[in-house]
Amino acid sequence: MSVLVVTGTDTGIGKTVFAAGLAAALGAHYWKPIQAGVDPDGDKEEVARLSGLPAAHILPEAYRLATPASPHLAARIDGVTIELDRLALPQVDGPLVVEGAGGVLVPISETLSMADLFAHWGQPVILCARTALGTINHSLLSVEALQSRGVPIAGIAFIGEAHAENERIIPLLAAIPSLGRLPLLDPLNPVALAEAFAAHIRLSDPFNG
């Protein structure tokens, strides 16, 4: 089993769309271990809609929390305790794409962040980043947080309108590969996503960086 973890520099940057495109391109299983906020749907429903993967490839969450908040807060409000042993990677045949919740340092509990969970898994991470103003700082801080925990980084994927300088300087300063840029899509549907992913994202050897 090969695993790729998709995370982001922030919430709401398009990493679920990226994860859907990645899972579809690899014919992978998709798993989001912690979903916080399900009104009207969670991210696995969005991935199912956008990826065209078989229903059996969309795995149920370990924690499906109703409150749209940081996982630690959503769990507290929902009366749930998030336990590390329930966050073990599921065993599947073939590739597995795992999507984190929020940004790299979002707390899962009082003592555990997303980055800590990634370090526990020890699997390569793709960092999704905006192209807009502020992304240099957010991206480099996210890379430092991952690297300080020994998390392998397969590369950075930009999402949004083209910004040549941000797309150049971040991989250079972070010393990580750029996997390309996924443009904003309108309409956003499985065909448009698959075509854009194939045209703009480089996945020659995503499991080894």
What is the SS3 assignment for 81? coil
CB atoms closer than 10 angstroms to residue 12? 10
Per the structure block, which two tokens stand in for 183?
A: 């443009």
**Buried residues in 113-141 as b, exposed as e (16+ CB within 10 A):** bbbbbbbebebbbbbbbbbeeebeebbbe
Q: Determine the Cα–Cα distance for residues 101 and 70; give it in Å rounded to an integer.
A: 8
Query: What are the beta bridge partners of residue 3?
Result: 96
Among this protein's residues, is 32 annotated catalytic? yes
- Residue keyed to tokens 């392998």: 152
- Per annotation, catalytic residue among 9, 14, 20, 32: 32
Residues designated as active site: 32
